[in-house]
Chains A and B, each alone.
Chain A
């Protein structure tokens, strides 16, 4: 389990992170989302022991990560811009990682190499950017880490490869209880993968929640009434304290905190002509949560 407490980091006078606390359990995928410059990469680098925080502490199962090789042997950090030894091939990099990570799985490396369709004897510098990302993921997964940090890892991968990589990660999480922390500015990217979500904005963790909780705790409802009662119903619907409510003629669309089961009896008493519970996107959920906290977001923030 990763436990980061009150992490603060400054770059010169610029505050990059402020009092960020994160807890990530084993066997989970933590999606770290936020706009550009929100501090995602910095937090990832601090969590993986690359940067030292100006304040706060990080523990992996109670052990500090900073300069702790025993802990770091369980960590793989996949950078948004992967680094490879100059002029080396994939096999050279395999040797490189194999010399450092005791659990490096050569067999898996070979299997994945075939699966990804990469030539292990070709110099990595000649690969495309997307292929280089594939190589970094492949090598990272071959290390069989307990903790994997993916910083914008899926950017630059084609949809097929993205799906493959996600499935491989999910497989490792399921089989080995690997803990994956993935950073992205694209919320949709995380939707079908993460089970925990944290939102960073201007160096502060605004929101951290299990995705299932988020989804079950908020519903989007479309409900329609007879024309003559609509005006009266609008006032009545406000008793539900909707987070948003929009009226188009006799059709009301609103997002309300609560569950379908809990709200259905109350709505049934209002005798609607039509009532439908629409699945909420992660983006909508976050918009609601954040607006509720007083943050105004534009679409681009969450991508």
Chain B
């Protein structure tokens, strides 16, 4: 054998070959250019014209021309990014496409060009075509937008970041397909291999996660569920996150807060991934044997490495899926596992050997995989080895970390550990049974939620609600449009499974409510009516002196039953300090202040009621400061009383949430006082004018997956749209919750005087002008008002837009209504 293998390639060869490649494949450049021009330039032209028309008509003029230009540029760059990723597939398939033809391989590999040259220059040709066409197109688009509308510096920055993300996405997809090509010998298998590289790790992960979740085994769960981990496993998620990071939205997905530098680093991970793929692809391309082109997977070992994990995923996935679909019985699980194993085995054999005669090749391997699947099912969902119950002895524990109420509390004093460990162990053991289910499932079944627009079940307790759901399904009355889930009933210790069954529809709301009430009443009677909300879920990590840490969620039934644990937690310095912090905040510093008591939440938004005078705002803020001061009065007794609500802040770039305990009587008194004072002050009402958003808000809602919004440009359009499905428009009195109805003829009056609030939860959002919609459900009376609407079978979409009226411009009929 020739050894060592060495490349005697010269840079001149690369350049010569690259030049030839660029010249010879000019048609591909034309293709790239056409796609990019359509994506960027044509879209820009359309966007500019629409914006200019909006400006001419005076629609939503609180957006400046430059802001509109910036938003349009951002949109263009987003389109640019998506199109780039699609073009990445094309580039990856064509750049080393010759390897899929034996004839071509013989030709190319006989030429005085190294495999490195062929791989790198082939890629460079595509990359150059893409970059030239992409950058020219986006530059033309930018120039057009700047000239016609202008662009704010910040939005320009975000757009440029998105371009970086788009190019990164292109490179990731491109190099992924190149890598897949280096590993395979046919175009079809290149696709399959790209999919396997991109998704197999994350599918395995999700399968384990899902298996764990369904089995209610919380070992490791949530330690690795953040996007940062998944994006590491899956390039598609990485691209998605990087695109979000470009717009400063990554924190929406990760729950963290990021600076622009971190956003840039996030985008940088795409380039890093592409570099890794490129390096791996080059290495495999060097190693691939020319004679193996036109075979599915080039290496026998790789065939095995691809084939059996896929079969495992299909087998385990089938078992878990059928178990989830048809309950915890083992028969369906076995059926699902069998189907997944056998079908994927046959399919993989056909794909790899490219003939149906080899369909049954490797039966021993199938047997081994089936055994591995069986072990997986036994270990994860059924926990036959008792991993769920394993806990270190207290003496072996070095420290315990408890994540509780948005705080990470570390217990490392022996006294603290000794005090808390028996509870943790007890809570952990008590939560699970041998078959992986939680006793509470059956005991407290009763929660379900629906998307009101489609009636699809969003959330239900997995065990005992089947009969109830089918009862809903039998009643066929459509509920109309809307987006938010409506929890028709909620029991005390509900446990979310977090999946929905698209086949189940809620058809008759009122009947469903009745069923729900009856059901819960029955359960309540059976279990002694114990339906308080005072349970807690703690995320606990136990670090031993030697060995691996154990991460678990433990569910604490009654807080009062486990008071000792909470005494310790609440007595910790960090916990106290966090409450003390509240008192140091000023209402003026906050972008969001939400107080939720007994399930009814209020957004208190002092800063952005634009019509207020300084004096009014000052007075209001002073009242809020008093409230904040009262919340901060921490007492050790708090833990012994139930949590009755939350207070939620948004300031600068972070959010924080603290529980409100029943013992906070001073705060509650102040709150009652506040509620009495404020309604007359704000004079707000809630209207179902859910369509009244300017364009950027539409984007915001799209981002939140409220995808069904249509943009309306004037009040008449909105009215037409509202009338199409709202038979009644209603006004709910803010302070009493009384429901009043607006006469159809007065809608225009409402629309004319309505003032859209543009405020955000954090400083960053505020600057972008996001609208935070909020519900003004504050009192029991209001809930009764809603109940009344439900009872009359009217549409309530669960999300009321807070609509403040301009000062001295509240429609008379609204004033009349409140005066009644």
Q: Which residues of A are at the interface with B, using a C-beta cutoff of 8 A? A: 11, 45, 48-58, 64-73, 75-77, 79, 81-83, 85, 92, 95-96, 99-101, 149
| 6 residue pairs, one from A and one from B, having the closest CB atoms | A72-B112, A77-B110, A83-B107, A99-B20, A73-B112, A66-B2
Q: Is B109's beta carbon under 8 Å from chain A? A: yes
A sample of 8 more A-B contacts (CB under 8 A), given A54-B1, A69-B113, is A50-B290, A65-B2, A67-B7, A67-B8, A67-B115, A68-B6, A81-B103, A83-B103
B9 touches A69 (CB 8 A): yes
Chain A residues with CB under 8 A of B19: 99
Using a Cβ cutoff of 8 Å, how many contacts connect chains A and B?
A: 98
Q: Is B791's beta carbon under 8 Å from chain A? A: no
**Distance in angstroms between the alpha carbons of A81 and B24 in the assembled complex:** 22
**Cross-chain contact of B8 among A70, A82, A83 (Cβ < 8 A):** A70
**Distance in angstroms between the alpha carbons of A95 and B21 in the assembled complex:** 11
Chain B residues with CB under 8 A of A82: 103, 107
Interface positions of B from 1 to 35, Cβ below 8 Å from A: 1-3, 5-10, 13, 16-17, 19-20, 23-24
Known: A79-B103, A99-B20. A72 touches B5 (CB 8 A): no
Chain B residues with CB under 8 A of A48: 110
A69 touches B106 (CB 8 A): no
A69 touches B8 (CB 8 A): yes
**Distance in angstroms between the alpha carbons of A95 and B17 in the assembled complex:** 11
Least CB distance, B93 to chain A, in whole angstroms: 14
Known: A45-B106, A101-B112. A51 touches B8 (CB 8 A): no
Chain A residues with CB under 8 A of B114: 67, 69
Chain B residues with CB under 8 A of A45: 106, 110, 290-291
B1 touches A96 (CB 8 A): no
Chain A residues with CB under 8 A of B3: 57
Q: Which residues of B are at the interface with A, using a C-beta cutoff of 8 A? A: 1-3, 5-10, 13, 16-17, 19-20, 23-24, 101, 103-107, 109-115, 117, 289-291
**Cross-chain contact of B111 among A64, A65, A72, A92 (Cβ < 8 A):** A72
**Distance in angstroms between the alpha carbons of A53 and B291 in the assembled complex:** 11
**Distance in angstroms between the alpha carbons of A174 and B164 in the assembled complex:** 60
A57 touches B1 (CB 8 A): yes
A51 touches B291 (CB 8 A): yes
Chain B binding site: helix, strand, loop or mixed by DSSP?
helix
**Distance in angstroms between the alpha carbons of A252 and B515 in the assembled complex:** 114
**Cross-chain contact of B110 among A50, A58, A99 (Cβ < 8 A):** A50
**Cross-chain contact of B20 among A58, A72, A96 (Cβ < 8 A):** A96
**Distance in angstroms between the alpha carbons of A51 and B290 in the assembled complex:** 6
A83 touches B113 (CB 8 A): no
B103 touches A49 (CB 8 A): no
A50 touches B109 (CB 8 A): yes
Chain A residues with CB under 8 A of B291: 11, 45, 51
8 A-B pairs (CB sep. < 8 Å): A49-B109, A67-B115, A69-B112, A75-B110, A79-B106, A96-B20, A99-B19, A100-B17
Chain B residues with CB under 8 A of A99: 16-17, 19-20
A51 touches B110 (CB 8 A): no
B1 touches A53 (CB 8 A): yes
**Distance in angstroms between the alpha carbons of A82 and B113 in the assembled complex:** 18
Chain A residues with CB under 8 A of B6: 64, 67-68
**Distance in angstroms between the alpha carbons of A153 and B807 in the assembled complex:** 93
Chain B residues with CB under 8 A of A95: 20, 23-24
**Distance in angstroms between the alpha carbons of A56 and B1 in the assembled complex:** 4
B5 touches A66 (CB 8 A): yes
Chain B residues with CB under 8 A of A55: 1
A100 touches B7 (CB 8 A): no
Chain B residues with CB under 8 A of A79: 103, 106-107, 110
B106 touches A64 (CB 8 A): no
Chain B residues with CB under 8 A of A53: 1-2
Chain B residues with CB under 8 A of A56: 1
A67 touches B5 (CB 8 A): yes
Least CB distance, A11 to chain B, in whole angstroms: 6
Chain A residues with CB under 8 A of B101: 83
Chain A residues with CB under 8 A of B107: 77, 79, 82-83
Chain B residues with CB under 8 A of A73: 112
**Distance in angstroms between the alpha carbons of A82 and B658 in the assembled complex:** 75
A83 touches B104 (CB 8 A): yes
Known: A79-B107, A101-B112. A96 touches B10 (CB 8 A): no
Least CB distance, B281 to chain A, in whole angstroms: 17
Known: A67-B8, A77-B106, A79-B107. A52 touches B112 (CB 8 A): no
